[in-house]
Structure 1
Amino acid sequence: MPQPQDYQPGEFQWSFLLPKYWSIWIGIIFLMILAILPWAIQYRLGQWLGQLAFRYLHSRRKTTVRNLELCFPEWSAQEVQDNARQVFVDQMIGVFETLNAWYSPKWFQGRVSIEGLEYIQQAQAEGKGVLLLGTHSTLLDAGGYLCAQYFEPDVVYRPQNNPLLDMLIYRCRATIYAHQIDHDDMRGLVRNLKNGHAIWYSPDQDFGLKQGVMAPFFGVPAATVTAHRRLLKMTKAAAIPLYFYRHGDLKNPKYHVLIEPPVERLPSEDEVDDATRVNLIIERQLRIAPTQYMWFHRRFKTRPQGYEQLY
């Protein structure tokens, strides 16, 4: 469903009240009800929905299993299956965590810790912008909320095709992020970095070789985006790794935000070396909580001539 040409993110339109949108409004009300449920019910629902998704989303399950086989060859076949199932469970639990971040943020009080905040503060004190190198976590926007308790993050986002959904998500995220930047708005991204903002950016998906290079990811050649190199070169921003994850007992979870020292010499003159170094950072992060990552994306789908097909 194309958006009207005059549509502005977060803007309400009277057309949203038309019958064709009623099912979405009903769904949103249902999600808001889920957001106020006790956590004991939420995480049990998340586990049940995750098991259901693992069972019936055959293509996603196959991709997840294949990714884990490639990236964790030390795991047995049973460990791969168990962890693949947990990926789906963590994703569904992440939906409830995001709903809590949007509608019941007080639930996170006393559950969040941070490490390395000084690296962002120091860079901004020097007048630099900060490009936060992160991952596509199953925590979704809950991760952004964790960060927002300690600093003001901007986020790069892809607009929804449905204008009502786009408005609702944009407004929910506005309570978390200082600014939301359309992924096509390169000028806005550059401007905010030059103005000293901290922007969450995830260079961890396969967008082909028009936007990247082949570089090892968990030892497997993968198409790796290089757009962040151009951003860093244009803005002189600091590249700072960011990772957040859930830990402890699921019945009483805790959350940790890990900020690492700025990556030195990024960008360098060698884009393959830069991509390799960034991938190594992401690998190290993912090993902390392997199942809290969206492994159901086809990370190794681009296979140039001479590379074997993996899916």
Structure 2
Amino acid sequence: MSQKPDYQPGQFQWSFLLPQYWGIWIGIVFLMILAILPWAIQYRLATVLGNVAFKYLKSRRKIAVRNLEVCFPEWSAEQVQDKVRQVFIDQMIGIFETLNAWYCPEWFKNRFNVEGLEHLQKVQAEGQGALLLSTHSTLLDAGGYLCEQFFKMGVVYRPQNNPLLDMLVYRCRANIFEHQIDHDDMRGLIRLLKNGQAIWYSPDQDFGLKQGVMAPFFGVPAATVTAHRRLMKISKAAAVPLYFYRDGDIKDPRYHVLLEPALDNFPSEDEVADATRVNQIIERQLRIAPTQYMWFHRRFKTRPEGFEKIY
């Protein structure tokens, strides 16, 4: 679990110059160098690194394999292995895409488009905030950068355990997101929603039943968070599905931002029905580009009584 930092986000501390942090500074310089490499080299490096990760990160590979076996039973064992390998590669490509968004955003020029922007504009024109229901995409902050080319939004984040890393990530994201909200700062999040802001929120991970309910995900019972229902009831915000993905030739990729109509009668009085509805939206989104999702987390960690463990 991430620990809440005892300093202001993005704040520099002289202690960051101590020898214990030198390795991180060297790593940051290395990442900046990677960010200025031509895309042809970046995606080749990402492919090599993805294949290495697929081979040696065995525990993560097993989790991803089980997730895809459960969610896509129509795929053969060979197809699952191929898809999981591509998940690792897409994750590495996503790291380079995020570095480009942080340090070389001009690379994305003329490579992206948006569909459904009118749905968000309608919500905000009516004075409502928008909770953008999205996923943990391998595009990472590159997806946020793409969205910011069309509309302003904030993001909910978990502080890094290392204070220097937390400062660096916060500052890089400050060039992308209008607001960064600590996941513990519910008052700040509600205030922004009440003020008509759009906030990126991903309710697609298993945090147990203390924070959610069991609802089908790809037809399998999964612990699904419900915190967004309370946020929306208090803030009177609307829920607007958001998805972004990459397609086309990897040598010359194109990026798409997809916004769907705000959900009507949401939240309802039935939290299981609401969780099921959100899961169905996420399922539909993930089928567009299945390997551009972080299948490494144990989505089915919590199991109903009487059901066998998946992992």
What range is the shorter-chain TM-score in? Answer: over 0.9
User: What are the superposed Cα offsets for residues 191-216 of structure 1, whole Å, 9 maximum, x if unpaired?
Assistant: 00000000000000000000000000
**Residue segments in structure 1 that go unaligned for 5+ positions in a row:** none
* Correspondence for 2:57: 57
User: Residue in 2 aligned with 1:196?
Assistant: 196
Which residue number in structure 2 is paired with residue 235 of structure 1? 235
Does the 8 Å CA contact 2:240/2:262 hold for their aligned counterparts? yes
Q: CA 1:2 to 1:205, structure 2 compared with 1: closer, same or farther past 3 Å?
A: closer
Mapped to 1, the partners of 2:161 and 2:188 lie a distance apart of: 21
Match of 1:105 in 2: 105
Query: Superposition pairs for residues 289-304 of structure 1, below 5 Å?
Result: 289-304=289-304
Deviations 1:181-232 (A, max 9, x none): 0000000010000000000000000000000000000000000000011011
1:237-287 CA distances to partner (integer Å, 9 max, x unpaired)?
110000000000000000000000011111001000000000000000000
The whole-number CA distance in structure 2 between the counterparts of 1:162 and 1:75 is 40
- Cα RMSD (Å): 1.0
Alignment match, 2:156: 156
Q: Which amino acid aligns with 1:182?
A: D
* Conserved 8 A contact 2:153-2:179: yes
> SS state of the match for residue 282, structure 2?
helix
Q: 1:2–1:162: 8 Å Cα contact kept in structure 2?
A: no
Distance 1:22 1:2 in 2: 22
For residue 308 of structure 1, report the CA deviation from its aligned partner: 1.5
Structure 1 CA distance for aligned equivalents of residues 116 and 237 of structure 2: 17
2:25 partner amino acid: W
Consecutive unaligned residues of structure 2, counting only runs of 5 or more, are: none
Alpha-carbon distance, 1:115 to partner: 0.2
Q: What SS does the corresponding residue of 2:290 show, helix, strand or coil? A: coil
Q: Give CA deviations for 1:138-194 in whole Å, capped at 9, x if unaligned.
A: 000000000000000100000001100000000000000000000000000100000
Deviations, residues 113-139 of structure 1 (Å, cap 9, x unaligned): 000001111111110000000000000
Query: Hey, what's the Cα distance between the residues in 1 that align with 2:160 and 2:118?
Result: 35
Q: TM-score, normalised by structure 2?
A: 0.98
Amino acid in the other structure paired with 2:115: E
State the match for 1:27 in structure 2: 27
Which residue of structure 2 aligns with residue 85 of structure 1?
A: 85
- Percentage of matched positions with identical amino acids: 77
How far apart in 2 are the matches of 1:295 and 1:16? 34
Match of 2:142 in 1: 142
Answering whether residue 211 of structure 2 is matched by residue 217 of structure 1, we say no
SS in 2 for 1:255: strand
User: What is the CA–CA distance in structure 1 between the aligned matches of 2:3 and 2:300, rounded to whole Å?
Assistant: 30
In the alignment, the residues of structure 1 paired with residue 114 and residue 3 of structure 2 have an alpha-carbon distance, to the nearest angstrom, of 40
Shift of 1:306: 1.6
Matched-pair contact (CA < 8 Å) for 1:129–1:237: yes
Partner Cα separation in structure 2 for residue 131 and residue 4 of structure 1: 26
Amino acid at match of 1:74: E
Give the CA deviation at 1:303.
1.2
In the aligned structure 2, how far is the partner of 1:234 from the partner of 1:10?
29
Superposition deviation, residue 304 in structure 1: 3.2
Question: Within 2, Cα distance between the matches of 1:3 and 1:275?
Answer: 28
Instruction: Tell me the distance in 1 between the aligned counterparts of 2:275 and 2:158.
Output: 23
Letter in 1 for 2:87: V
Q: Does the CA-based 8 Å contact 1:3-1:162 persist in structure 2?
A: no
Secondary structure at the aligned position of 1:291 is classed as helix
The total of aligned residue pairs comes to: 310
**Are the equivalent residues in 1 in contact too, given 2:3–2:160 (CA < 8 A)?**
no
Question: Which residue of the partner structure matches residue 14 of structure 1?
Answer: 14
Q: Which residue of 2 aligns with 1:178?
A: 178
Number of the residue aligned with 1:75:
75
Structure 2 CA distance for aligned equivalents of residues 130 and 186 of structure 1: 15
Deviation for aligned residue 1:3:
6.9
- Aligned-partner Cα distance in 2 for 1:10–1:102: 15
Equivalent in the alignment of 2:245: 245
